[in-house]
Amino acid sequence: MAQLATDHPEIWDDPAEAQAFVNRVSLPVAAQAMLLDVNGLLLASTAAADTERVGRPLENMPDLTDLLSNQVTVRTDSGRDLETNVADVFVPVRGPERQVMGVVRLTQQLTNVYNQFLMLRYLIAAVLAAGLLVGGGAAWFLGNNLGQLLRQVTQAAHRLSNRQRLEPIPEQGPEEIKQLSRAVNTLVAQLEALEQNRRQLLSNLVHELSNPLSALRSATNALLSGAGKDEKLRRELLIGMQGEEERLNRLLADLAGLYDQLLGSLELQMRPLPLTSFLFRAVRVWREAAQYKGLEWQVDIPDGLPTIAADEDRLAQVVGNLLSNAIKYTPPDGRVSVSAGRERDEVWIRVSDTGVGIAQEEQAHIFTPFYRGTSNSRFADGMGLGLSIAHDLVTALSGRLIVTSSPGAGSQFTVWLPLA
């Protein structure tokens, strides 16, 4: 108000202008405003009762000399009750040359301030009460929702423990609950896959065991019925029985490898292994099987391959599984080849065939246990364990097993092993 009065010097000479000025000013507080001249005479007031006092000095005024020399003067008059407790603020108004033109006085009863504090206290209490209600409602809603989600997970765990079929749990709620539901859903999927694999294993076992046992039973019955008197027939039956026994031995080897896979009990005996001499020994036993089937047999193993650190028996099992599959799924007059070499800090062993090949969509699953593929694919029969075991053995040897194949063009399986 003092700043506004600085721009209106005429109000200090004319009481009418002064009254018009105080009537126009809108104060942000409920206070009484007055304009005083340099002699302490009243020029204008917002209180109608002060009209008769215009032009007269006010009572209980502070020292005028101190008042005009200060920037702001505050005075509080206390009475016996709140109605007579007032606070006066005096601000001198200065002209362009810093001369005092008059004084602006604001007077406010302290009871108004106390009432404002009281109203503010009620407002704060109301806001706190509303906040508590809203917070309590939100906490109840969130707690109830969270409890429902946790109950779903708990019920799912109980159903799993009771071997009941379980549908996937909706992944909703807070991020932690989503992660918990996602973990339960993953567990459910793994258990379902495990159950499916278990059934597939039993089915494959029945299928794989029934064929050689039936063949052995037929050959045994024939020999007991007198077929052994014919030397040629007896030899053919014995050779067939020997082949079925070898098939059973391979099945037992696959099951032993599966046992190591499931229990994680695979132990490696890492020793220095001269790769060239090892490969010649490992592939020699498979040459007879390939030639017996009428396959072309090729071996390209260079001399001077480096010595690597590996488990000889496990690596021989890998090479044997790959050669067994190549011979098994390559038709007569086809070709099976074994090659090896070195590239940078790795060595590679490659088994190639001219068999039926593997479809692109099946190549991502051939290293999965019990995978047998479609009826017209390379893996339509068998236990579906050979490549899975070979892959895990190569991984345990810190290597990798890569397949390259296309339907009708044969397959290439390459084992990469580190030199160090």
CATH of 271-418, one of 3.30.70.1070, 3.40.50.12780, 3.30.565.10, 3.30.930.10: 3.30.565.10
Which segments of 70-174 does DSSP mark as H helices, in order? 110-161
pLDDT confidence of residue 207: 55
Q: Is the pTM of this model over 0.85?
A: no
pLDDT confidence of residue 339: 94
Nearest-5° angle of CA 335, CA 336, CA 342?
Answer: 130
Q: How far apart are CA 352 and CA 226, in angstroms?
A: 44
Pairing of strands 296-300, 32-36: unpaired
Q: Do residues 400 and 416 make contact, with C-beta atoms less than 8 angstroms apart?
A: yes
Q: How far apart are CA 171 and CA 187, in angstroms?
A: 14
pLDDT confidence of residue 262: 52
CATH class of the domain comprising 175-263: mainly alpha
Profile the chain (420 residues) by mean pLDDT over runs of 10 residues: 87 88 78 87 86 82 77 72 71 86 85 73 92 89 77 76 72 78 80 73 63 71 77 78 72 63 64 92 83 89 91 86 87 92 93 88 75 52 68 88 88 90
Return the amino acid letter for 114: Y
Q: How far apart are CA 140 and CA 114, in angstroms?
A: 38
Give the number of other CB atoms < 10 A from CB of residue 281: 11
Pairing of strands 296-300, 335-343: parallel
Q: Do residues 372 and 379 make contact, with C-beta atoms less than 8 angstroms apart?
A: yes
Residues in CB range of 22: below 8 A, 6 or more apart: 33, 34, 35, 44, 45, 46
Instruction: From 93, 95, 115, select the one nearest 105 (Cα to Cα).
Output: 93
pLDDT confidence of residue 282: 86
Domain map (residue ranges) of the chain: 1-162, 175-263, 271-418
pLDDT confidence of residue 375: 43
pLDDT confidence of residue 380: 46
CATH of domain 1-162: 3.30.450.20
Q: How far apart are CA 258 and CA 368, in angstroms?
A: 11
> What long-range pairs does 284-290 form, CB within 8 A, spacing at least 24?
285/320, 286/320, 286/323, 286/324, 286/327, 289/327, 290/323, 290/327, 290/336
pLDDT confidence of residue 379: 47
Q: How far apart are CA 126 and CA 113, in angstroms?
A: 20
pLDDT confidence of residue 263: 46
Q: How far apart are CA 416 and CA 318, in angstroms?
A: 12
Q: How far apart are CA 59 and CA 222, in angstroms?
A: 142
